[in-house]
Amino acid sequence: MAVARPPRSRRKQMEAIALYPLDWLEERSGLVGAVKYFLFRKVPGDTNWFQTLGSATLTAFLVQAITGVILAMYYTPDPNSAYESIKHITNDVTLGWLVRGMHRWGASVFIILMFFHMARVFLFGAYKYPRELNWIIGVLLLVLGMLEGFTGYLLPWDQTAYWATVVGINLNGTGPIIGPFLSSVLRGGSEIGPDTLARFYSIHMLVLPAAIMGLIGLHLYLVIRLGVTSPPWSKKAAGAPWIEEDEPEQPARKGLVEPTPRGGAAK
């Protein structure tokens, strides 16, 4: 349908063409708006670098997730070949040493960053009303993160891994009443065996990452909903201003580039 459009500059035209797919997506899902809302939401003017520690933790987690998926393509969770497969990754697979190194060192980085992030939240008093629930979710994330460390440590199946896990499982076994049952469940039997490795592998790569991703989703939802706190030395009152109020009302079905209606429906 050829319709005379208002004349526009070449630049604008190119922009419109480039952004057309985004407009298409936005009109059908609202996703572009959602991402823009997330990226350009207001934060207090005096936020500082310590408030990037949460995003740093998130980045560390994503690195673990991606390198972990790739390692899983070469690793075999079988007592008779696990160690060999780790050696294979380290010595034979192209850049395997790098990806394994990233995953192994990244594990510590992730845990350390979680603690730094938690320290900043604590020292800024950012756990206070109305963010108590986000602190609680954070504590769950911390516990799950450490469990990732515990279950992942066994997988290389060398002497350090094996005996550290023996000690770790038996440590759980000393808990009152349920301790002995907990250690049996962790071992998958009364003795460490092939089931233990398979069990740890499944928990490490399926159960915990899924749980952590879900909780990160909730965590970020609350961060966006409640806004981030100003630092404690801030002159302004804490809390998020309600940004919707001072924004002009959005015209319905507004395109990203220009509110020019497509398909010839002249305004």
Partner 1 sequence: MSRVDPEQGEHKPDLPGPSVWPIGVAVGVACLLVGLVISWWIVAIGGGISIVFGFLWLSDLSGHPVGARPAAAPPPATTGPPPAQRRPEGPTTTRSGFLSVATLGLGGVIGALVSIPPIFLAIVPPFLKQSKKPVDLGPLAQFPAGQWVVTTFMLDPSEGAVSRRTAYIRYNGPLKGQPSFTIISNRCAHLGCPVQPLGLVQPDKTKTISTTGGEVVTTIPVLAVSGFSCPCHGGAYDTEGNRTAGPPVRGLDRYEFSIKNGHLILGRNYSVSKVDGAGAGARIHKYDLTGPGQHIDGWEQIFYPIQPPH
**What is the binding site for ligand HEM (CB under 6 A)?**
51, 53-55, 57-58, 61, 114, 117-118, 121, 126-127, 131, 134-135, 138-139, 141-142, 145, 212, 216, 219, 223, 228-229
The residue (of 24 and 221) whose beta carbon lies closer to ligand HEM is 221
The residue (of 89 and 212) whose beta carbon lies closer to ligand HEM is 212
For residue 134, the minimal CB distance to partner 1 (Å) is 14
Does position 179 interact with partner 1 (CB under 8 A)? The reply is: yes
Distance of CA 85 to the CA centre of its chain: 28
x/- map, 200-239, partner 1, by CB under 8 A: ------------------------------------xxxx
Burial bucket for residue 109 (CB in 10 Å: 0-12, 13-18, 19+):
middle
Alpha helices in 51-158 (DSSP H): 53-72, 82-91, 96-123, 132-154
x/- map, 58-97, partner 1, by CB under 8 A: ---------------------xx-----------------
Among 69, 98, 146, 171, binds partner 1 (CB under 8 A): 171
Q: Which residues contact 12 (CB under 8 A, 6 or more apart)?
A: 257, 258
74-82 long-range contacts, Cβ below 8 Å, gap at least 24?
75/155, 77/155, 77/197, 77/198, 77/201, 78/194, 78/197, 78/198, 79/157, 79/193, 79/194, 79/197, 82/155, 82/156, 82/157, 82/197
The contact set with partner 1 (CB under 8 A) reads: 79-80, 129-130, 163, 166-167, 169-171, 173-174, 176-177, 179-181, 183-185, 187-195, 197, 236-242
